[in-house]
Amino acid sequence: MDVYFDHNATTAVDDAVLDAMSPYFRAKFGNPSSRHARGVEARRAVNQAREQVADSIGVQPAQVIFTSGGSEANNLFIQGAAGYLKPARIIVSAVEHPCVMRAARELTRSANAKWNLHRLAVDNLGRVSLTDFDNAVKEQQPGLVSVMLANNETGVIQDVAAISEKARACGAWMHTDAVQAFGKIPVNFASLNVHAMTLSAHKIYGPKGAAALVIDKRVLLKPLIYGGGHENGLRSGTENVPAIVGFGVACGLVKSRIAESASRIAAMRTQLEQGLAEMGAVIFGLSASRLPNTCYFALPGIEGDTLVVRLDRAGFAVASGAACSSVNPGQSHVLEAMGVESMLARCAVRVSLGSDNTPAQVENFLKALSGVADELKRMSMVTL
């Protein structure tokens, strides 16, 4: 048995995506900047992918800037915007992905830095405090605001539109990292009222190595990478044509499949959480609006890392936190911000379901989890 329950970390490339990408590794290998036939062919493929990405979130193709990943896209907005704006306050939520949090922190660290960082508090369900936003704005007007649409650990969805309204009223540029949300819930650029949004291919059954920063046409950014002026001068470097093609196809699949997929996956999560409740599990963010595929839970007294290893041996791939933070083991900064007691936070395990999972797999997982948990409890009693 080999069951993958870690779709928030990454997803398998869809067959349709792989088929679309394949010709661009060999037969259609041209450089999109070349003017001969092979180059023109590659440029058309990139342009088509740009249209597919744009269509999936309701923007114009010119607003889509391709990058190598979500981390680069987030950095491009934060550092690129800071390069044009007068230094002010930058506001991010306390539960942001490290590539947002650290990029924001760097703005305050240079010798001549005048940026001031404020981390928005969240409640015990992981929802951003609008009151804290109002108080932060009273202290100092922000120039930049970045709040993720959905958290990668808990799956909790933020009211980005409400935060955007407040940010715009202050004259600030508003960005949302929608990497985890896109493909799991409907995402529309205009409805969220943001100036910029980050998307990534490998979370939606596309390839690693392709992502996008989607920007309002009035937003000016300073490039992170200088060179030949690719991507409207914002991201120089020869485009990763196969990955970009795959990203475009994956976005098309999102648009056609999301309604049915989200409903089916949500039913499996309900099945999972009913079983976890019977085991006495604590589910983080349970009563908040969450992504339909994500369950972040703890069995008190059983360390999450230990549980993940034992479940992997039993044939189930789950996570003890965010994959992008695994190089820095320790307590989840998300759970810490939510006020979760440190001993309970150490027990956290994340299950993130995907389109290939089945109710039978969920049932088998619950049986395996119960068996592993009972065994670990017996071992703990013997040790004591």
Terminal alpha carbon distance of the chain: 33
Which one-letter DSSP state was computed for residue 62?
Answer: G
Confirm or reject CATH 3.40.640.10 for domain 15-253, answering yes or no. yes
DSSP for 318-382, please give it. -BSS-GGGTTS-SS-HHHHHTT--HHHHTTEEEEE--TT--HHHHHHHHHHHHHHHHHHHHHHHH
Which residues of the chain have a pLDDT value below 50?
Answer: 326-327, 384
pLDDT in tens, 259-269: 889 999 999 99
Give residue 290's pLDDT.
Answer: 98
d(Cα 66, Cα 349) in Å, to the nearest integer? 33
Give residue 241's pLDDT.
Answer: 98
Task: Enter the tokens of residue 3.
Answer: 């069951």
Roughly what angle, to the nearest 10 degrees, separates helices 98-106 and 70-82? 20
Q: Which amino acid is at 70?
A: G
Architecture label for domain 3-10+258-383: Alpha-Beta Complex (3.90)
Residue 148 and residue 158 in contact, taking contact as beta carbons nearer than 8 Å: yes
How many CA atoms does the CB half-sphere of 95 hold within 13 Å? 29
Give residue 384's pLDDT.
Answer: 44
By annotation, the residues acting in catalysis are: 324
Task: Give me the phi and psi of 322, to 5 degrees please.
Answer: -90, 130
CB atoms within 10 A of CB 9: 20
Residue 235 and residue 314 in contact, taking contact as beta carbons nearer than 8 Å: no
The angle subtended at Cα 361 by Cα 360 and Cα 362, nearest 5°, is 90
Domain ranges of the chain: 3-10+258-383, 15-253
Which one-letter DSSP state was computed for residue 102?
Answer: H
Residue 79 and residue 103 in contact, taking contact as beta carbons nearer than 8 Å: yes
Give residue 358's pLDDT.
Answer: 98
DSSP for 279-312, please give it. TT-EETTTTS-B-TTEEEEE-TTS-HHHHHHHHH
Q: Which of 160, 165, 144, 155 is nearest to 76 (CA)?
A: 144
Query: Which stretches within the chain are classed as H helix?
Result: 15-21, 37-57, 70-82, 98-106, 130-139, 160-169, 189-192, 241-278, 304-313, 333-337, 342-345, 359-383
pLDDT in tens, 64-115: 999 999 999 999 999 999 999 999 999 999 999 999 999 999 999 875 678 9
Coil, helix or strand for 30?
coil
